[in-house]
């Protein structure tokens, strides 16, 4: 397909089973959309996602096997609050107010 704007791409991600990407940004966007990602790169800047088992690094010829593992839920992932609880602003405001 032709390149998509951000909202169209995220709409597809939201409706997908999983994401296969070589994009650095889409790996993290997939996480926020609650979708596992197969990252077709030798390494990633988002090590926290691969360390947690949420995203999986893959070579091109391993994609199908990695997809099967994700679909069958054979790869454990620990993803609760990787990036916090979403309340940083409230905590910062509380600290400033108390100061």
Cα–Cα distance measured from residue 56 to residue 9, given in angstroms and rounded to the nearest whole number: 20
Give the confidence band of 31 by pLDDT, cuts at 50, 70, 90.
very high
pLDDT in tens, 41-95: 999 999 999 998 899 999 999 999 999 999 888 777 776 778 888 888 999 999 9
Closest among 83, 59, 63, 72 to 19, alpha carbons compared:
63
CATH fold, domain 6-98, is Rossmann fold (3.40.50)
Are residues 26 and 13 in contact, defined by beta-carbon separation less than 8 angstroms?
yes
Question: What are the domain boundaries of the chain?
Answer: 6-98
């Amino acid at each position: 397909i032709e390149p998509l704007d951000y909202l169209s791409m995220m709409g597809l991600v939201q409706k997908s089973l999983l994401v296969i990407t070589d994009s650095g940004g889409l790996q993290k966007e997939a996480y926020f959309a609650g979708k596992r990602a197969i990252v077709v790169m030798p390494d990633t800047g988002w090590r926290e996602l691969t360390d947690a088992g949420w995203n999986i690094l893959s070579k091109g010829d391993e994609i199908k096997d990695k997809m099967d593992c994700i679909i069958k839920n054979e790869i454990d992932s620990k993803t609760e609050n990787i990036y916090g609880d979403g309340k940083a602003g409230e905590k910062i405001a509380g600290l400033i107010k108390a100061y």
